[in-house]
Amino acid sequence: MANQTSHHFSSVMELIDGNRIAADIVAELKTEIATLPARKPCLALVRVGDDPASVSYVRKKEQTAAEIGVTSRVILPPVSISQAELFALIDQLNADPEVDGILVQSPLPKGIDEVAVFRRVSPDKDVDGFNTLNLGKVAQEDETGFVSCTPAGIMELLARSGVDLKGKHVVVVGRSLIVGKPVALLALQKKAGANGTVTVCHSATANLPALTRQADVLIAAIGRAGFVTGEMVKPGAVVIDVGINRVPDASKKSGYRLVGDVKFDEVAPHCAKITPVPGGVGPMTVAMLMKNTVKAFRLRGT
């Protein structure tokens, strides 16, 4: 790996442009929604309290919904809401025939059981894909379920970049319920584009570099800035960086910049394809949320 510390980019290296791919999906959905004769899909966005990241995420979701013609309904309960009150609110949305999708923005205040809240959302409106039943459907390869937006976005990025996982060794670093486990189950599925051989590594893995170096497709979802170094990646690999980490940067007005789990400058030069951070997996999340909302609308048949 002579070029590991060089910043010379291989002529065959291709940047996977998440912004462009997400924009394509959003445009496709806009066209699809424009053909609907009457009622448009409606997404309920529940944001508890005023966590700054949540404010920004929910605003972005609202904007994208407006852009494509999905009606959104933003509900802003106070941070003091009890779990029982939040359940009652979700039950109302579950029962509301005008609502197709429900997203409860994470994180929730301490004292509220997130998994229980996600399980309260009716599975057929669970456009975030966090309901236990929808997780089970991912394992069952049941297409009537909803796949959570980040792993679904990763699969879409790969498909739209011409990466077929069949016969490939996919190594996932990180075993979270939000990314690592569902993307491993998706990569294993028997459907076209999937059929990968899948390894899941994590904090308890012995000799991690020996495993990551075997990856034809490496998915980094650890949540640690620059964790994946050049020597951990096989030349010619496809690298998907799921991390979004803030590192201090005095040159920025905000005082920080966003970096991924992958040391981009070291890894990119000898990759076949790689996602940047920002602009890789991140933009896909909102696009897939919109795709799930339209799917929920269609499946409900209203």
Where along the sequence are the contacts to a copy of itself (CB under 8 A)? 115, 131-137, 139-140, 142, 166-169, 175, 177, 181-182, 184-185, 188, 195-202, 204-206, 211
Nearer to a copy of itself, 171 or 268 (CB): 171
Nearer to a copy of itself, 1 or 133 (CB): 133
Q: Is 14 helix (H, G, I), strand (E, B) or coil?
A: strand
Euclidean distance between CA atoms 130 and 182, whole angstroms? 10
**Minimal distance, residue 100 CB to a copy of itself, in Å:** 21
Which residue in 105, 124, 241, 261 is the catalytic one? Answer: 105
Annotated catalytic, 128?
Answer: yes
Cα distances (Å, whole numbers) of residue 76 to 66, 101, 104? 18, 16, 10
Nearer to a copy of itself, 182 or 276 (CB): 182
Annotated catalytic, 63?
Answer: no
**Minimal distance, residue 87 CB to a copy of itself, in Å:** 17
Beta bridge partners of 238: 217, 273
Euclidean distance between CA atoms 212 and 202, whole angstroms? 11
Annotated catalytic, 265?
Answer: no
Nearer to a copy of itself, 118 or 264 (CB): 118
- What are the backbone dihedrals phi and psi of residue 87, each rounded to the nearest 5 degrees, phi first? -60, -45
Which residue in 61, 168, 181, 263 is the catalytic one? Answer: 61
Euclidean distance between CA atoms 112 and 117, whole angstroms? 8
- How many Å separate Cα 23 from the centre of its chain? 15
* DSSP label of 70: -
Query: Which of these, 266, 288, 289, lies nearest to 220 by C-alpha position?
Result: 266
Nearer to a copy of itself, 72 or 148 (CB): 148
Which residue in 126, 128, 241, 261 is the catalytic one? Answer: 128
For tokens 């997996």, name the residue: 281
Q: Is 154 helix (H, G, I), strand (E, B) or coil?
A: helix
**Minimal distance, residue 71 CB to a copy of itself, in Å:** 29
Query: Which of these, 291, 273, 296, lies nearest to 24 by C-alpha position?
Result: 291
* 171-205 CB burial, b ≥16 within 10 A, e <16: bbbbbbebbbbbbbbbbbbeeebbbbebbbbeeee
Helix (H) or strand (E) holding 197: strand 197-201
**Minimal distance, residue 204 CB to a copy of itself, in Å:** 4
**Minimal distance, residue 227 CB to a copy of itself, in Å:** 16
**Minimal distance, residue 200 CB to a copy of itself, in Å:** 5
Nearer to a copy of itself, 95 or 206 (CB): 206
For tokens 């057929």, name the residue: 124
For tokens 């679904």, name the residue: 152
Catalytic residues: 61, 105, 128
